[in-house]
Amino acid sequence: MNEDDIIVTEDDDSENNAELEDDIDTDSDDDESLDDEPTLTFKVENGRIRGKVDEQEAMIQAVDKILQTERLVFPIYSDQYGNDFNDLIGKDMGYAKVEVERMLKEALLADDRVTDVQVDEIEQISRDTLQVKGICITAFGDINIDSEVSLDEP
């Protein structure tokens, strides 16, 4: 694919487009690879890519994505990526309160950049929803967890 094959559309936010173009290096002067920066990822704002982020910002995005992705559903991800919260649908609330902590830890600890997960609070906030609060300890700093898990069909 060459530059002539790239389709560019107009965006109402030309300032951010200019920033994104500045981030794109077509000269390949610096030969950084993803091996050198294991957390390098795209910065996504309002459904659009707005540059790149690394380290803690990238880990915040990774933790959020793991907690939003159901494991074993999307073939693009390995069988270790994502969570099993959907297994709690229809289960007893007492059982779910115990299992959600285990499932949360299992999902996040599958990422080798996560060193520990501490769950501080599991609270029933509605008839069929749990709120889980805690801290994900990573190689790039601590990340607060505040997630809702529904026990009802979506």
Looking at residue 100, what is its pLDDT?
A: 96
Looking at residue 25, what is its pLDDT?
A: 46
Which residues have a Cβ under 8 Å from the Cβ of 140 and sit 6 or more positions away? Answer: 39, 55, 56, 58, 59, 113
Q: Are 83 and 148 in contact (CB under 8 A)?
A: no
pLDDT at 137 over 90: yes
Which CATH topology does 37-150 take?
Nuclear Transport Factor 2; Chain: A, (3.10.450)
Looking at residue 99, what is its pLDDT?
A: 96
Looking at residue 33, what is its pLDDT?
A: 44
Report the pLDDT averaged over residues 98-120: 96
* pLDDT digit string, tens, across residues 5-59: 444 444 444 444 444 444 444 444 444 444 444 667 877 778 887 878 788 998 9
* pLDDT digit string, tens, across residues 61-106: 999 999 999 998 999 999 999 999 999 999 999 999 999 999 999 9
Map out the domains of the chain as residue ranges.
37-150
